[in-house]
Structure 1
Amino acid sequence: MVDTQNAALLSVSPDLPSDTKSQALEVLRELVGHPAADFHDGQFEAIEALVDGGRRALVVQRTGWGKSAVYFVASLLLRRRGAGPTLIVSPLLALMRDQVAAAARAGVRAVAINSANQLEWDTVREQLAADEVDVLLVSPERLTNPSFREHQLPELIRRTGLLVIDEAHCISDWGHDFRPDYRRIADLITQLPESVPVLATTATANSRVVHDIEEQLGAGVLTIRGTLGRDSLRLGVLTLPNSRERLGWLLTHLADLPGSGIIYTLTVSAAEDTARLLAEAGHTVKAYTGRTDPADRERAEQMLKDNQVKALVATSALGMGFDKPDLGFVVHLGAPSSPVAYYQQVGRAGRGAANADVLLLPGSEDRDIWQYFATASMPSEEKATAVLTALAEAGTAVSTVALEARVDLRRTPLELLLKVLAVDGAVERVGGGWRSTGQPWIYDAERYRRIAEARVDEQDSMVIYQDTAGCRMEYITSVLDDETAHACGKCDNCAGRWFRADIAEDATAEAGQTLTRAGGVLEARLQWPSGMDRLGVPVKGKIKPDEGLADGRVLARLTDLGWGGALRELFAAGAADRPVDPAMLQACVQVLREWATGDGRNPGWSGAGRPAAIVSMPSRSKPELVRSLAQGISEIGRIPYLGELDLGHGGPTGSRGGNSAYRLAGVWDRVMVGPELEAAMATLRGQGVMLIDDLVDSRWTVTVAGRALRQAGAGAVLPLVLAQAG
């Protein structure tokens, strides 16, 4: 469907014969290898606008509609007319790999420049210089790279025949996957000659996002929006009381789902736990998250494409651009935070098949996870001002690492904030790091308030989707502002429940065992943060062997499916301090038993021998919890409890979540061995000490505490912690 107000601007009706249309059809049929192939509604309109009109166009069409055919056909037609190569800005390496492979199959000479193929950059430059490239794909991050921007981008702009912005919803801060680097594209567009056509494509945009993209593309944009309904998808929702039941359902019915597919989770821990459970039950699955090594990700993608696995258990790291036409199913363990994100993920299924199954298993913890991610990406006026002040005072370029010693922000949010400030023109990335431009910057509180409200509205829409008695496809597409939204006749509300809801008793028990499984390695810090001298802490480089911790153990992460739920309640804001729950104490004892003997991957007690004593951390928020845990382990393990460390200088300062440098500065010399504890330790003679704590985040508090114990004469210090954030 072409917007009617824009359709009149087209120079030639798509229903009338034209040289462009016949040439485009010829190219299309060569690309797909089918002599009778024809364009879908809207495809030729977009091609004609680009090739004949030199216009700017936005194509919003469902996944599998053929957006890549538009820019490949347009690229080859423009190349035949003497235009330079097409420049495609593409957000994901996996997407780039698929696009380059698809182009090669279609006879389009496509190459990529991204962080994963640096050894090929010289070859790519030579090919460009020899005019042997039809399509060049670059990541949006390349546009911010000083060297690329200075040495390569000007020539690319001069020669570009067509600019394509793939997954263009990333441009919009109203979109579900906003990326600051994408806002650079608006600057890139202004640098292009007016005669160079621009195409933006996305499958996931409501009207608000569409209008935002149109404004950034400039005046006279042709917008082509098609129907979003997917006839191949059969949607359903199954509400179960807890993670145990949801995992039990998967164990019972995964084999019944058609073909191979994707199981989406909201957190990395959930993906890893679920993949382990399914694999141990005999299912061929692999985890796929942001923590997965890039090479392993690529192998996992290929295994799914080749049907060598039943499913990838994935976070949103597997999403845009992953192309498996016969993907048979998508299951969600927990709901994404917006209909746009949900539609984007379910759109992986049924692209080239008549039928595919999509099932949502929502969780009671979903809203808490949504809230965390919704606030994590919002810039703080206080932090932004601190970054700008630090750069202005430096007067020169400052690396991100060095900036961490000047501003209390962790690496990832700091880099995100710098990109936002760069888009606003307040800072710029140069050789050696970041520097202030000197331009004034004003925090747009009203804009961020409206974005936050929109996020809440989207979350509410996902709850309504779960509860609706109407057609699920009609609801999800109508929320995306599809005027053609209609009942699908296939979903569980239209045609009745198509999936079984029974759960095998042994599957529930097996899931329960996984969820009650406890223990993870708490890796010791090995190196002090850079720039500590600026914060008055006299350390640098590697932590000395006689001052460091041994690797420890943690009962669970707060994001884990099993013990994570109980721990989230325990550490929730306002939760009362109380003695450790007996079941939680027994789980810690089990962790210690496995730690003592080793598990094949990790040596028992890290080779340090059985600890001779127990010491606990002083806790200002949960003193009874920590003390009771230490005393309980002491009694069960028959290991003397010597007491707790002291708080010096008023105790640790700052709050959880700061970066390493500031967290270390906040605890330095503020956790110490008091006189009574020092006297009790005099008999240890270098033997090991178990250090008990309730919750760790940066790990610097236990690191400083371990250093104090080592200096007081302890041998190895082995930390045991109830929970780890993240």
Structure 2
Amino acid sequence: MPVAELLKTQAQQLLGSLVGNPEAEFHPGQFEAIEALVDGGKRALVVQRTGWGKSAVYFVASLLLRARGAGPTLIVSPLLALMRDQIAAAERAGVRAVAINSANATAWDEVREALAADQVDVLLISPERLNNPSFRDRELPELIRRTGLLVIDEAHCISDWGHDFRPDYRRISELISRLPETVPVLATTATANSRVVEDIAEQLNGRPLGGVDAVQQRDDAVFTIRGSLARKSLRLGVLRLPDSASRLGWLLSHLEQLPGSGIIYTLTVSAAEDTARLLAEAGHRVLAYTGRTDNADRENVEQLLKDNQVKALVATSALGMGFDKPDLGFVVHLGAPSSPVAYYQQVGRAGRGTDNADVLLLPGSEDPEIWKYFATASMPSEERADAVLGALAEAGGALSTAALEARVDIRRTPLELLLKVLSVDGAVERVSGGWRGTGTPWNYDQERYQRIAQARRQEQAAMLEYEVSSGCRMEFLAKALDDPEAAPCGRCDNCAGRWFSGEIIGNAVQRAEDSLHTLGVPIDPRAQWPSGMDRLGVEIDGKPVKGKIAPEDRAVEGRALARLTDLGWGGPLREIFAEGAPDQPLSQEMLNACVQLLKDWSQSGWSGAGRPAAVVVIPSRSKPHLVSSLGQGIAHIGQLPYAGELSLGHGGPTGARGGNSAYRLAGVWERLVVSPELTAQISGKTVLLIDDLVDSRWTLTVAARALRQAGATAVLPMVLAQAG
């Protein structure tokens, strides 16, 4: 039997085992990709729609290479959910697959032993694992020596132009450069336009790729297979409604009519939680799935959806790449993602193994504001990068992230992201004990980041165009991905007419309004001082503050009217705190809501502190009229003594919102003072402490400590809005 024919026969048998069907046939392009990897040792890029079978390519290729004596396949995979599904699929095909990730730390020793004994066919890791000092220094060199095939899943993340900003994916090009040239490399994605394809190809092969719409035949080119990205099973639609309550009213009216079980996507965690609560209270079987969902709970929640034990998961983008439910019946978006490419990726969860699935977008007027925040949050700034590099240079050795927070005023999450960017660029390195500078010069690539920002603005404009387009919606998405086969689908609301009802039944909008205006977000009191306050001069009795905050100095659990990101009061509050918004007294409607919040709070026992006997206001630099009217209004309606405002010491608080804990504490320390006159009014009393906006909670913490030190028996913080 000719070699090529023998390879196809072997591959066909392995495919049958993988899918549980001995008669299974390869989709066009699948065997060609396998052949390029196994017989050609090529660097290959597969751009195919979700559900096409990209995992079949690398599992079959892995087993064929292993049969020829090659080492294990290394798969770089972005999400735990994706790893779980990949391992389950591998087991069905007789592939011995294991993972090293944050969720299975107790099994790492077993994995290492299995690798050493050559009992592993496939090892899955996250891109972040490539920079773990222990893995990078101990396991990776041996893996590079033995790897038989490298697979980069969701490869659009390699590219600056991909819709996910994940710095550690950029390490993969360095990993590829360290592999022997004989080791094949496969990159797979379902969401790459031509610009992303070219970028991936350059990193796979170290040179620009010419044409990207056809299979490349040159020996030195990346072997690229692109198929049609249109999803024939999906029926797309857009329904524009006036506000959040109307969108939720529509869901209350029509959720059970949607086919099977599905996903309801939101843009923020608060929106997911609010929506899930409303639907559950109305008797629908739904659960929230967000970045706040514990890792231990995620697998269980995903399985409930896979088993159709819930009608829907109300999710943020945390439920995205890698979640695989072939019979997912619908995807609804409450608010639009920021680009057609990201939208295509999310709706691609539906209809993988069915002939029909419904996809509906309910855009919101607040969407562009949310896009703007997320588009800029991940971008490093030159000023912050220089501050981090300067702090590391001054330290002369490794610093933990917590230690860096006492040296640079950057919050933990953006600080960690910035360190990853600097590490990928070679300016810092992660070592045992934290991070240290390498001494390698680093220049801020302003042109690059401006290009990325401009591209994202164009993507946002395209998403707005999609919402109002009168043309075929699937064709629009396919063209956004530069699909040369883009054509009208004949099924979407523009091609075949509206397939969904716009009617909202009965009092559904009012029920949504009532739920959205559920009052009260708990404000947990700070219990621990930040690390490194000695560097910032924060002391008590000549000694730096550290450790636990004394119970007698703490506030009790407080309340915020709502989060700025909430669907209900979040909208009016965002207007109040928007940049450039005028400072003016609180509206009577919002004051009434605050009074109702206090009534609800009183019924739950005032967090154990008892009814307040005095109202004290934290003076505001930006909204003095707002916060004063809130404090005096509460005092008047509640018939409580208005004790006045805290005084400002040392010129008052410094710094701006958004800083990290260490700098925020330093900026308010001893700058909120209880005057003798105020002391006389609050001594021996429970104080209701009023502020406009809570973010880090250090202003409330310092103010509460000052009041307790002045004789208040308890402090109940109440604020209008909680950031985030």
The verdict on a shared fold, with TM-score over 0.5 as the criterion, is yes
Q: Which of 689, 692, 695 is matched with 1:691 structurally?
A: 689
1:387 aligned residue: 388
> Identity rate of aligned residues, in percent?
75
2:405 and 2:363 mapped to 1: Cα distance?
38
2:165 and 2:570 mapped to 1: Cα distance?
29
State how many pairs are aligned: 704
Matched, 1:186 2:187: no
1:716 aligned residue: 714
2:290 aligned residue: 289
CA deviation after TM superposition for structure 1 residue 680, in Å: 2.7
2:275 aligned residue: 274
2:434 aligned residue: 433
**AA matched with 1:291:** R
CA deviation after TM superposition for structure 1 residue 158, in Å: 1.1
CA deviation after TM superposition for structure 1 residue 17, in Å: 5.9
1:41 and 1:297 mapped to 2: Cα distance?
35
| Mapping 1:355-370, distance limit 5 Å | 355-370=356-371
1:33 and 1:276 mapped to 2: Cα distance?
40
1:256 and 1:233 mapped to 2: Cα distance?
16
Contact 1:61 1:67 in 2 (8 A): yes
| Mapping 1:492-531, distance limit 5 Å | 492-531=493-532
| Mapping 1:170-569, distance limit 5 Å | 170-219=157-206, 220-538=221-539, 539-569=545-575
Contact 2:165 2:378 in 1 (8 A): no
CA deviation after TM superposition for structure 1 residue 460, in Å: 0.3
TM-score when scaled to structure 1? 0.96
| Mapping 1:24-43, distance limit 5 Å | 24-43=11-30
TM-score when scaled to structure 2? 0.96
2:334 and 2:172 mapped to 1: Cα distance?
35
2:158 and 2:463 mapped to 1: Cα distance?
23
**AA matched with 1:164:** V
| Mapping 1:16-95, distance limit 5 Å | 18-95=5-82
**AA matched with 1:717:** V
2:484 and 2:650 mapped to 1: Cα distance?
64
2:550 and 2:720 mapped to 1: Cα distance?
26
Worse-superposed segment, 696-705 or 266-275? 696-705
CA deviation after TM superposition for structure 1 residue 583, in Å: 1.2
1:96 aligned residue: 83
CA deviation profile, 1:181-219 (whole Å, cap 9, x unmatched): 111111111111111000010111111111111111115
Matched, 1:581 2:587: yes
Worse-superposed segment, 318-327 or 290-299? 290-299
| 3-state secondary structure, aligned to 1:546 | helix
Contact 2:14 2:93 in 1 (8 A): no
RMSD of Structure 2 on Structure 1 (CA): 1.1
1:696 and 1:452 mapped to 2: Cα distance?
30
CA deviation profile, 1:51-77 (whole Å, cap 9, x unmatched): 011110111110000000000010010
Report runs of 4+ in structure 1 exceeding 4 Å deviation.
none
1:31 and 1:294 mapped to 2: Cα distance?
28
| 3-state secondary structure, aligned to 2:74 | strand
2:16 and 2:640 mapped to 1: Cα distance?
77
Contact 1:86 1:161 in 2 (8 A): yes
Contact 1:634 1:640 in 2 (8 A): yes
2:34 and 2:354 mapped to 1: Cα distance?
26
CA deviation after TM superposition for structure 1 residue 518, in Å: 1.3
CA deviation profile, 1:215-258 (whole Å, cap 9, x unmatched): 11115211111110000000000000000100000000000000
1:153 aligned residue: 140
| 3-state secondary structure, aligned to 1:695 | strand
Contact 1:169 1:178 in 2 (8 A): no
CA deviation after TM superposition for structure 1 residue 140, in Å: 1.1
**AA matched with 1:497:** R
Worse-superposed segment, 219-228 or 299-308? 219-228
1:705 aligned residue: 703
**AA matched with 2:422:** L
**AA matched with 2:10:** Q
**AA matched with 1:573:** E
Q: Give 5+ residue unaligned stretches, structure 2.
A: 207-220, 540-544
1:136 and 1:449 mapped to 2: Cα distance?
37
CA deviation after TM superposition for structure 1 residue 338, in Å: 0.7
CA deviation profile, 1:567-591 (whole Å, cap 9, x unmatched): 0001111111111111111111111
Contact 2:18 2:89 in 1 (8 A): no
**AA matched with 1:718:** L
| 3-state secondary structure, aligned to 2:507 | helix
Q: Which of 581, 593, 598 is matched with 1:592 structurally?
A: 598
Contact 1:59 1:67 in 2 (8 A): yes
1:655 and 1:633 mapped to 2: Cα distance?
27
1:299 and 1:35 mapped to 2: Cα distance?
32
1:580 and 1:34 mapped to 2: Cα distance?
67
1:27 and 1:244 mapped to 2: Cα distance?
52
1:6 aligned residue: none
CA deviation after TM superposition for structure 1 residue 127, in Å: 1.1
1:281 and 1:202 mapped to 2: Cα distance?
39
Contact 2:267 2:316 in 1 (8 A): yes
Contact 1:55 1:222 in 2 (8 A): yes
